[in-house]
Structure 1
């Protein structure tokens, strides 16, 4: 079975760019302190995100080696999670708080990732399903983790610099419904394709 890069990208992109702890806190930091002063916080998020991705890859590899029969189950669970995510994306609002928040630093960003279930589930889903056929030697693991971290950092930057504009753009009900419906359908497409890959 070949790696489906398009589905992998779709899932990772939608998961990292839709509102969550990372994007919402990055928006608040950017609004209140500016992009430059927010960089240490973003660096902490990036470090934690990269660490979670590497640990997820190692854990998925261990599962494949010790319990290969569990891989189809992980694919089913991953697909169900993506469908769950599609449901929440469909009803997502983009109302972001603009109130002042305490300045957050590197350690805050790092801790947020280590306790962020969205990132942990993202890592486990990606490496146990989408990238289950990937070479698990150190270089591919590190490179793939870097790519996902870069995607996450791009999402942080986008929300920090343009979060207010995004929220205003998606403030109208019609626009929000269209965007949410498209993103949800893409996630459903990804989940169905994963399930079809089992047969």
Structure 2
């Protein structure tokens, strides 16, 4: 176990730092019951597992590099869609029970599909997956079924990241339970998601395109 500690530390550092998926988890915790977002976390975990399993078993780094701009473009557009979804979402009415959700609030509910597609199309997966699958796994002779098992464990940790942010959001939400404050939080989160989408477009699409032209 000690020889694999750098894999654990690296994966933890990358997955638990603020990012679009974790920001959505935090926002969901402010106004959405936890049970309504479990599918979102499961989708995130499955997407991470797919990245590790496919790239780890295929080992074709050059193929991944070529499709990163396409993934970044699709991922950025999906993040913008979710930003609009978060911006338009309304928190539950103050008169409703904590575990209930208003018809308006349901419009902003995060589902399995949202978590899976957003994480699958997140080009920053390459920052997590490629160093581990091309350097760390081979160094520690992790291959075959061991690779699948390690990928599953990392994926579970990845799904736990937005869950942890969601729990933090729930704690914070109890302190700012007024609907107007939650609406402002939704809009701030939506703005942050737009910024993330623009940065992804610049880093992974526009910048490589400019270098190719020049």
TM-score by length of 2: 0.53
The counterpart of 1:131, out of the listed 128, 138, 141, is: 128
The counterpart of 2:53, out of the listed 49, 58, 61, is: 58
Cα distance per residue 1:26-57 (max 9 Å; x no partner): 8235xxxxxxxx6xx88887666534422332
Partner of 1:96, secondary structure, is: coil
Does residue 1:119 correspond to 2:131, yes or no?
no
Does residue 1:158 correspond to 2:168, yes or no?
yes
Instruction: Give the equivalent residue in structure 1 for 2:181.
Output: 169
Conserved? CA contact 2:47–2:117, under 8 Å? no
Distance in 1 (alpha carbons) for counterparts of 2:56 and 2:89: 36
Indicate how the Cα distance of structure 1 residues 11 and 134 shifts in structure 2: closer, same or farther if over 3 A, else same: farther
1:37-186 equivalences under 5 Å are 49-62=44-57, 65=60, 68-69=62-63, 71-86=65-80, 88-89=82-83, 92-97=87-92, 99=96, 116-126=112-122, 129-136=126-133, 137=137, 138=147, 141=151, 144-163=154-173, 165=176, 167-172=179-184, 177-186=187-196
Q: Per-residue deviation at 1:140?
A: 6.8
Distance in 1 (alpha carbons) for counterparts of 2:194 and 2:202: 12
Structure 1 residues without counterparts, runs of 5 or longer? 30-37, 103-112
Q: Per-residue deviation at 1:193?
A: 1.0
Distance in 1 (alpha carbons) for counterparts of 2:183 and 2:194: 18
Cα distance per residue 1:147-172 (max 9 Å; x no partner): 42232211331344444636542435
Q: Tell me the C-alpha RMSD between the 2 structures.
A: 4.5
TM-score by length of 1: 0.56
Structure 2 residues without counterparts, runs of 5 or longer? 1-13, 101-109, 138-146
The counterpart of 1:193, out of the listed 182, 203, 207, is: 203
Distance in 2 (alpha carbons) for counterparts of 1:135 and 1:10: 19
Kindly name which structure, 1 or 2, has the bigger radius of gyration based on alpha carbons: 2
Indicate how the Cα distance of structure 1 residues 79 and 130 shifts in structure 2: closer, same or farther if over 3 A, else same: farther
